[in-house]
Structure formats: C-alpha cells, structure tokens
Amino acid sequence: MTAKAPPAAPDHSARHADLDTPCLVLDLDALERNIRLMADHAKACKIGLRPHAKTHKSVEIGRLQMAAGAVGLCCAKLGEAEVLAGAGLQRLLITSPLVGDRKLDRLIALHKATDEIIAVTDAPGQLAPLATRAEAASRPLPVLIDLDVGLHRTGVTNAEAAVVLARQISEHRSLRLLGVQGYAGQVQHIASLAERQQAAATATSRIRDAVSALEAAGFACEIVTGGGTGTFDIDPGFDLFTDLQVGSYVFSDVEYDAVTLGRSSPHPFENALFVLSQVVSANHDTFVTIDAGSKSFSMDGPLPRVAAPGGGALVYAPFGDEFGRISHDGGPVDLALGERVLCVVPHCDPTINLHDTYVCVRGGNVVDTWSIQARGAAA
C-alpha cells in the first residue's frame, strides 16, 4: 500500500519576519491535537500510554502528556530522566540497560528521590551491582526484563533466557520484577500498513512467548510495555501490552509522513515541528541558498520537506553544515533575499537535539519560547 501525501503544513513563513534563523518552530495547536488524539485513542482501546521523552526532551511537553493521562514517561538515557525528575516529573522508565558504577549510583539516587523509577535489564551480570546499590533505598527498585524482539540492539534473545533472568532477579530482595519490555524498532517505519501489521505480529509473538513462560514459572507480568508511533493502531489489537512507548506522534516528521499509520486515516497526526530559515544567497536562477544545513537538521534519514512557500514544489538539498539548497521541481526559483522558508523536520528526535529552544506559535504568532532542557543528555 502506498502512503497518501500528508496534509499541507500551515504557512508560518511570512509571519516570522522578526525571528532570527535558523530556529525550531513548534505549532502548539497541532502539538496539543496530536497529544489529545493519541490519548483518546489509548482510552478507547483501554491501553496505557508511556510516551517516550527521548523524542521531545522537554519538561513542558512531558507535563502535557502526563496531564492527558499518560501512566509515565520513557527516557532513553539516564540524563534525560534526571532532567525530567528534577522538574517534578516523577514516574519514569529508563528504556536502556545501565552499565557502570557511576550510572548505577545515579540511578539509585533517582530511585530514592522520585515516586517511581523503573530500570531494565537483559543480562545476569547487571544484577548484582544494581541490587547492591538498591539495598540502600527504602524500597525495592522496580525492573523490567528487556526482550530482543527482532531489533537485536538489546534484550534477552528468547523466553528461556527471560525465565533464567527472572529467577536471578528474584534472588535479590532489593529488586522487584514488574514485567517485560519489548521494543520493535525495526517495525515502526515500514511504510505499508499490511506489511507493518505482519512484522508487528512476528515481534509481538516473541513478547507473548516470554510472558507465557514467565507466568508459567510463577512470575507475574504487571507491565508489558513496548510498541511505538508506527504501531500505535496495531499493538492494542494483540491484547498483550499494558502500555505503549509512543514518541514521534507529538510532532510527526518526514519519516512518519511516508508511513501509512492508521486504518481510518493514513496520517492522523499533524506536522507540528518545523525549522524556519531564510534565503541568504539568490544569485542563481535555478536555486537559492538558505541558512539551515546539517547543523539544523538531522541528515540520518530522509531530507527535510519544504512546507512553505511553494505549495510543495520546492525541494531541499544539503549544501553544507550551515546551508541548504532550495530548488524548484521543474523551473526557476523565485525567492528573494531574506525570504523565509519553513521545512518539516526530517527525523524529529536528533533534529531537536541540535537546537536549544522551541519557538512556540499559535496561528502563526509567536506566543512562547521553551527550553529543550534534556538536549545533549547522552549519558
């Protein structure tokens, strides 16, 4: 199935003459509609949301997600969790295994200071150092067994290994096994809905096998977490997950615009995040140069899409660290020096990590500026 073209983005370019460029522009109306849509979907499906803050790295957006009913937030890195917890967001799951004395010390400090910090583990060698430190806390540290469901990045590789690890966790009174995590990252960007459904079913069968084996061995799985934006409309149908680790839905981006996401609507989430730039050189008939290059956009996936001006006919190409090349799909480019160009971000997570702030707009008018507090929290 070929994904239909995403809806046109609002034209903010002419209304931002006073903004310095390049800058990251966040459409708050679209953001709030995306958060509400996902929350309503989860409620209708009777499944929880545990949105991934690795996407937005923002205290303000995390608060909006929690206010919409999220059961907690995910963090890929310990540093992200420290930033969010320091701002009062108290229910956090760190989705990556933590290794090393300094990281474990920081984890236990967070465990002592928050309502709920959940860690993941995928190897027996991680347990003793973790359990020893957790003994200093007033309550056991909640942990999930991380499952490899086809991405092969982290996680135990089969149900038998999950049971072995569960038994070893149970030997440590300072640890409390809550269930499992299985993230099928390899599935999320499959463009075809039918192909993605099939791949998701294969990945989820591995989670189901592990849950069945754990329960047969006497280990209850209070939490079964995983999924993502690409499978948000698929995962609830498996009747297995307790909550979904959706992330990119808050913004959407060029990557997800290429994916047929929903059954009833191919692109239910709006583009909410853009980079605003301006023409800095216009000496050629067939292209102009803008001031947004690889230091403004992540280039690890598709290219940015020009949202305005041009009605979809203008095309972005890399032109160096600081610059982009804007050409016309079939003719000369009639953009003047200083004219504003608004682009949909190509891959939202790493693009956000290149910027310090969100310039927040409503109806094209700047209403606020939000710091990206967890930017660069790589450890």
Query: Under the phi-then-psi rule, with left for phi > 0, alpha for psi from -120 to 50, and beta for the rest, what region is 312?
Result: left
Quick one: what percent of the chain has pLDDT higher than 70? 96
Class of domain 28-257: alpha beta
The residue-averaged pLDDT of 97-115 equals 97
pLDDT at residue 242, rounded to an integer: 98
Task: Name residue 305's beta-bridge partners.
Answer: 344
At 292-324, the pLDDT tens digits run: 999 999 999 999 999 999 999 999 999 999 999
User: pTM of this prediction?
Assistant: 0.95
Angle at 269 between CA 267 and CA 274, to 5 degrees: 110
- Per-chain mean pLDDT for the chain: 95
Angstrom distances, CA of residue 9 to CA of 128, 207, 284: 51, 38, 27
Q: What is the pLDDT of residues 50-73, one digit of tens each?
A: 999 999 999 999 999 999 999 999
Residue 375 has pLDDT above 70, yes or no: yes
344-357: per-residue pLDDT in tens? 999 999 999 999 99
What contacts 108, CB < 8 A, 6 or more positions away? 133, 134, 136, 137, 141
On the question of pLDDT at 36 being above 50, the answer is: yes
Query: What residue ranges do the domains of the chain occupy?
Result: 28-257
**pLDDT above 90 (res 136):** yes
Beta strands in the chain (DSSP E): 23-27, 48-49, 73-75, 91-94, 116-121, 141-147, 175-182, 223-226, 243-244, 273-281, 287-290, 305-308, 314-318, 324-328, 340-344, 357-362, 365-371
Least confident of 68-72, 136-140, 362-366: 362-366
**In 79-160, where do the E strands start and end?**
91-94, 116-121, 141-147
